[in-house]
Amino acid sequence: MPKLAPLMFMGTGSDVGKSIITTGFCRIFKQDGYHPAPFKAQNMANNSYATEDGLEIGRAQAVQAEAAGVACHTDMNPLLLKPSSDHTCQVVLNGKPMGNQNAYQYFRTEGREVLRTEVNAAFDRLAKRYNPIVMEGAGSISEINLRAVDLVNMPMAIHAGAKVILVADIDRGGVFASVYGSIMLLPEAERKYVKGIIINKFRGDIRLLEPGIKILEDLCGIPVIGVVPYYKDIHIEEEDSVALHSKQIQASHGKVNVAVVLLRHLSNFTDFNRLEQDPRVHLYYTSNVDEVAKADIILLPGTKSTLDDLYELRRNGVAQSILKAQRNGATVVGICGGFQMMGQEICDPDHVEGSIERLPGLGLLPVSTKMLAEKITRQVKFKFLDEIDECNGYEIHMGITTPMLDAEITHLNSLKDGSQDGYWISNRCFGSYIHGILDNEVVIDYLLQPYTAKLNEQPFDYVTFKEQQYDKLADHIRQYVNIELIYQIIQAS
């Protein structure tokens, strides 16, 4: 296949759909016989993923790699910022945590060139192995206050020699002003890299938009290469947990009601995407005590701050609601930080998470957790209980969980390397450190088995479902974006 220039999607702001558009083009290039790979120099998200070599990247780049049909690698997202508060985040470089920094420390100019060298080197390595590289910016293309320290937007495009497509969200209003303003705020030398505009999330009659598009193209001297309609019938994993607030739906009749406890620092919410799409299940996110009490199954998710979220569950009454529901027959399952909360206690003598040294857990499992500074990140293969099928997942956690003295308890999972994970009390009470455990059919069938009287639908094939969604996204973009022009733009000179 001919060598193509990198294609980079930048936005007029955050949440305009850059990640989804990037995912769609990863699948389009794969369909067209190329060997693409995604790249985002710097991502900010608590929703992360473990690579095959046990390192950490943003989940969005793992999804994009899946759409491209390639294994994810830290070179696809060399710099990951994981917020732990409104002002502080953990900095993960090339898959390994470097410690916590506040926003002012991170964005200072001192030491910035070290990070720039690292992200540029990651791109250079990736570009030697894949064709084309489908790149994504962060936030706005015109963050003028951060121009001197920017690693992810125009400086990255210039280093890569990328052809830039500006993505704008018409659904939030002011699309013409946001596009024009974003381009005009760029230095003149940078504007030449912007080769096209995509208007995203459109609703309505395209004919009403056409006069404005013509004026915009004349003003900017850049073509609008697509107007992509808003969709509801394509399901791609979300990057940010902001989308969860639209999923706070009350319990439903006729299906298994699954409540995911909506923690303040919830992470890796994609653990529940497979269940959410299962036709046998009605899944919703909630921190309402009454909605928790109505659930057949309560899922305690991962969190970036286990002790702080556990304290909040006790303060707002959700902890008591979980315990009452469990006594009344509900299933309670914890994953990662949620698994830690299910124990008798969580201890943090070295202040890994903060000032709280110990909190009593929910007392559902006879285990104790000690927080450790070293983070465990790895992909795992395991067998669930006594099942013979091999399952897949990944671990990203800080801490070790062990049984209390003389506790009679069974390990949940047997890992391929001979180690054990998680603990089981009954088919209605167990926990695990493994993210993605609920993507495995044998686990889902076990989880839903106590509720067979409610089930009329057939088991759900999530792998096939995801592949279908990537293809549907690619078809959607092909229908509304001038793909021929995209290829003309990225033909390497």
Catalytic positions: 336, 435
* The pairing of beta strand 133-136 with beta strand 37-39: parallel
Q: Are 10 and 164 in contact (CB under 8 A)?
A: yes
Nearest to 344 by CA among 363, 328, 324, 372: 363
3-state SS class at 189: helix
337: Cα separation from own chain's centroid: 17
Residue in the structure block whose two tokens are 């056409």 = 210
CB neighbours (10 Å) of residue 267?
24
- Beta bridge partners, 236, equal none
Residue in the structure block whose two tokens are 């963050």 = 143
CA–CA distance, 493 with 108 (Å, rounded to integer): 37
CB neighbours (10 Å) of residue 158?
13
45: Cα separation from own chain's centroid: 7
**103 Ramachandran zone, left/alpha/beta (phi>0; psi -120 to 50):** alpha
3-state SS class at 300: strand
Nearest to 437 by CA among 333, 344, 363: 333
Q: Are 34 and 131 in contact (CB under 8 A)?
A: yes
Question: Residue 112 corresponds to which tokens in the numbers above?
Answer: 């910035």
Q: Name the DSSP class of 310.
A: H
Question: For the packed helices 318-327 and 306-316, what is the interaxial angle rounded to 10 degrees?
Answer: 80
Nearest to 152 by CA among 179, 120, 174: 120
CB neighbours (10 Å) of residue 434?
30
CA distances from 200 to 147, 203, 230, 250, 472 (A): 25, 9, 7, 30, 16
